[in-house]
Copies of this chain bind each other. A is one copy, B any other.
């Protein structure tokens, strides 16, 4: 193995940014944004989680702005989506699974960085989750949709479970690699069960008046 951990991390990190950027670009195309809007959504979806984490822990300028790699990966994803939209849209199922990999890595990397900046374990796990879900949340807010991660599919829960494993592994002294792999596997597994078998969290029991039904109805036709 010539691959160092550092290289491995960077490759996965840029891969995660790339996949998340595609989700932003697809959403932007669906809302008929112009080319520039598509690139902005690509960058936001791919980097807002990491930027939020870095601002909160005081790591400014954020990594996504300190080098050009993340911008390049995001713009590339946006341009590919712009040119090959029909093709990208047909790849929905594989993209969802690749997205789960990106989520897992972001959760691991976010947690590690927060621990390195001295946050306590519980808060580090929380920031790992924010790193994973922040991009998708910002993407949805800019498109005036309720963030998809808030309503379904064990998405944020998968990120949090992964981050928690990383933190627990660290506290128990398991080093870096094993908790990262275990947490990542749990994240991907939970996403797989949510996508293939419809696993989901409960929603609150409402009274017979059914106050919220119209809202839920209105938003049910979201993508990705």
Q: A28 → chain B, closest Cβ, in Å?
A: 7
| Distance A215 CA – B30 CA, assembled complex (angstroms) | 8
Which chain A residues (93-120) contact chain B, with CB distance < 8 Å?
117, 119-120
Given contacts A41-B150, A150-B142, contact A122 B34 (CB under 8 A): no
Q: Which residues of B contact A123 (CB under 8 A)?
A: 61, 65-66, 68, 71
For the complex, is A156 an interface residue (Cβ under 8 Å from B)?
yes
Q: Which residues of B contact A37 (CB under 8 A)?
A: 149-151, 156
Interface pair A212/B55, CB less than 8 Å apart: no
For the complex, is A36 an interface residue (Cβ under 8 Å from B)?
yes
| Distance A150 CA – B201 CA, assembled complex (angstroms) | 33
Instruction: Name the 8 nearest CB pairs between A and B, nearest first.
Output: A37-B150, A58-B60, A32-B216, A34-B201, A29-B204, A35-B201, A30-B212, A32-B212
Interface pair B146/A31, CB less than 8 Å apart: yes
For the complex, is A173 an interface residue (Cβ under 8 Å from B)?
no
Which of A33, A51, A152 has the most B CB atoms < 10 Å from its CB? A33
